[in-house]
Amino acid sequence: MQSFKAGDMVKLPQKPWQGVMGVVIFYDVKRDRYLVRIGADQQIYFGADEIVPYTK
């Protein structure tokens, strides 16, 4: 399983977010979920299996 840290750029491969890029801003240890900022005003929690590293 992939692990991420705050500041990592990620891509969301699953619908409805397919193709959207975001930035990991927090990891919730208790819930084992990453808080990802999408755009300027939206933040959503995702599991490690729901995000992939962003590559150019």
Per residue in 5-34, pLDDT (tens digit) is 999 999 999 899 899 999 999 999 999 999
Condensed to tens digits (0 to 9), the pLDDT of residues 45-55 reads: 999 999 999 98
Averaged pLDDT score across all residues of the chain: 93
Condensed to tens digits (0 to 9), the pLDDT of residues 36-45 reads: 999 889 999 9
- How many whole angstroms separate alpha carbon 43 and alpha carbon 24? 9
- How many whole angstroms separate alpha carbon 30 and alpha carbon 4? 16
pTM: 0.89
9-53: what fold? SH3 type barrels. (2.30.30)
